[in-house]
């Protein structure tokens, strides 16, 4: 694996390239223009290339059996992809055999869930050896549809110099305290956002909590900018970002990583596998179920069966919004609404404060 500092720089370059994505077609198709893939794979930028290498090796081995695999892995962090409208599909035969994606996006949308997930098109394996941390958080789907094989955990990176005499926040509720006004730097911009953070805050504190959080938020920026040694220029003292970025860059002594006492807000890395994919694609399914953690950089994304990073603090917990909440809510529609309303609130706060929000690139989640 390449040096982690080099990896951080490569992720930052990917974000720079994606600031001006290609223009989408004027009339995007309702279905992908390609034949259904065996695997459609989206992943967080820091692990995308490493996982691609592993999947390429599996595909090569499968080709040796006389059967080739059709694997589609969009590159770049936010680029337009021909499979973007896939969630609007109505024919299960036109879906990939395996869909692997991230966050509470299109494959959690109510229409897609009703047509395919609730209809039993997908079945998740139940891997042995789920870590105690994942088990305690209830990460395994009790309905056996989604396999959440890893998580993007969002934590705090604290600049104690900029925080001044204020106490270091330890829990998510602390970030709603008015004394932290202008101190919070949130991961996100463009169309992307740390969805697990807003969803968790809304579940616990409602829209009032979102408004209080926005009132304390100075602006939005890409995780790789947050993780620069010593923090970003003209930023507040509290960064909310993925654990990978907080822990894999060298920081001066005044920078402090805090794993929230009530748990890191967790966004899913998940897989949906058609029942018809087995046994032909068992190797791919097994990779997501148990093989993801064998990739070194994947450990920062909390593989379901481990291993976990050695740097995790004792008693580290996951803050997961829960399957009951996901089932009872059109979670993607709620995510989109919170994303839009939060941005408007942050923009209004910045205007009142007399400066624009910081940051200009998407959150690498």
| pLDDT value, residue 353 | 73
Q: Within the chain, which residues score under 70 in pLDDT?
A: 1-35, 76-80, 189-191, 229, 354-365
| pLDDT value, residue 320 | 98
| pLDDT tens, position by position, 145-164 | 999 999 999 999 999 999 99
Q: Dump the DSSP string for 246-315.
A: HHSS---TTEEEE--TT-EEEEEEEEEEBGGGTTTTHHHHHIIIIIGGGSGGGGGG--TT-PPPTTPPTT
Beta bridge partners of 159: 255
| pLDDT value, residue 229 | 67
To which H or E segment does residue 221 belong? strand 217-221
Residue 62, C-beta contacts closer than 8 angstroms, at least 6 positions apart = 68, 69, 283
| pLDDT value, residue 63 | 84
Beta bridge partners of 72: 40
Contact 312, 259 (CB under 8 A): yes
CB under 8 A, 24+ apart: contacts of 313-318: 313/259, 316/133, 316/259, 316/263, 316/264, 317/133, 317/136, 317/137, 317/261, 317/262, 317/263, 317/264, 318/133, 318/134, 318/136, 318/137, 318/139, 318/151, 318/153, 318/263, 318/264, 318/266
| pLDDT value, residue 226 | 78
């Amino acid at each position: 694996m390449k040096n982690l500092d080099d990896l951080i720089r490569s992720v930052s370059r990917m974000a720079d390239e994606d600031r001006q994505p290609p223009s989408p077609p004027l009339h995007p198709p309702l279905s992908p223009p390609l034949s259904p893939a065996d695997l459609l794979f989206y992943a967080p930028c820091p692990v995308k290339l490493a996982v691609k290498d592993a999947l390429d090796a599996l595909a090569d081995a499968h080709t040796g059996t006389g059967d080739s695999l059709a694997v589609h892995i969009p590159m770049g962090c936010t680029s337009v992809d021909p499979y973007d409208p896939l969630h609007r599909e109505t024919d299960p035969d036109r879906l990939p055999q395996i869909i692997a994606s991230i966050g509470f996006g299109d494959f959690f949308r109510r229409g897609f869930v009703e047509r395919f997930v609730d209809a039993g098109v997908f079945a998740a394996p139940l891997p042995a050896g789920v870590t105690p941390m994942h088990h305690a958080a209830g990460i395994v789907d009790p309905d056996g549809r989604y396999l959440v094989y890893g998580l993007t955990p969002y934590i705090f990176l604290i600049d104690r110099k900029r925080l001044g005499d204020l106490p270091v926040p330890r829990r998510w509720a602390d970030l709603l305290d008015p004394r932290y006004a202008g101190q919070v730097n949130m991961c996100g911009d463009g169309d992307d956002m740390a969805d697990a953070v807003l969803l968790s805050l809304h579940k616990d504190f409602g829209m009032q909590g979102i408004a209080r959080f926005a009132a304390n938020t100075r602006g939005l920026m890409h995780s790789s900018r947050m993780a620069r040694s010593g923090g970003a220029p003209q930023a507040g003292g509290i960064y909310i970002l993925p654990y990978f970025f907080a822990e894999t860059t060298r920081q001066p002594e005044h920078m402090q990583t805090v794993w929230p006492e009530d748990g890191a807000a967790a966004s899913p890395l998940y897989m949906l596998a058609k029942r018809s994919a087995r046994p032909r694609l068992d190797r791919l399914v097994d990779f997501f179920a148990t093989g993801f953690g064998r990739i070194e950089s994947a450990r920062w994304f909390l593989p379901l069966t481990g291993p976990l990073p050695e740097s995790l603090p004792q008693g580290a917990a996951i803050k997961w919004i829960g399957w009951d909440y996901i089932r009872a809510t059109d979670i993607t529609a709620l995510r989109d609404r919170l994303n839009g309303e939060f941005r408007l609130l942050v923009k209004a706060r910045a205007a009142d404060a007399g400066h624009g929000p910081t940051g200009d690139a998407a959150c690498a989640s």
